[in-house]
Amino acid sequence: MSTALTLDVPDEVIQGASLVAGATQRNMVDVLQEALSLAFGKLPTPVEPSGSVLQLTDAQVLALGDARLPRETAARLSELSQRRQAGAQDPGEAAELAALMQAYQSLWLRQSEALAEAVRRGLRSPLAP
């Protein structure tokens, strides 16, 4: 199933997608759809925190709330992001960046669930706006 969607996309995103499409001999729309799928397609969409977060001990919840990407992964993500912004990224790096962004987003989602659970349990104060 899919949903038709109209977006205003920044010029630099269109230029990047066009470069990847040209380098891979693919349609730019397909490149953009794949990038969106990689970024958001596998993220869970629970209404409540996943059962695994609810079953963690207090110490595990706090540890997950403080979790970070491994140093090497974070450095590579930063490097690839800078290369993309500088327009010096090749198609292989685009795929690697997409995979690293997905890993980051998954960690961020789990971290958010853990922080919410920590607040619910009274282990942490709510974050200030």
pLDDT tens across 37-77, in order? 766 665 544 444 556 899 999 999 999 999 998 899 999 99
> pLDDT at position 47, please?
43
Report d(CA 127, CA 116) in Å as an integer.
9
- What residues does each domain of the chain span? 11-120
pTM: 0.58
Per-residue pLDDT tens digits for 18-32? 887 887 788 889 888
CA distance 54 to 114: 9
Q: Do 17 and 35 contact (CB within 8 A), yes or no? A: yes
Cα distances (angstroms) measured from residue 107 to each of 22, 35, 84, 89, 94: 32, 18, 22, 24, 20
Specify the DSSP class assigned to residue 100. Answer: H
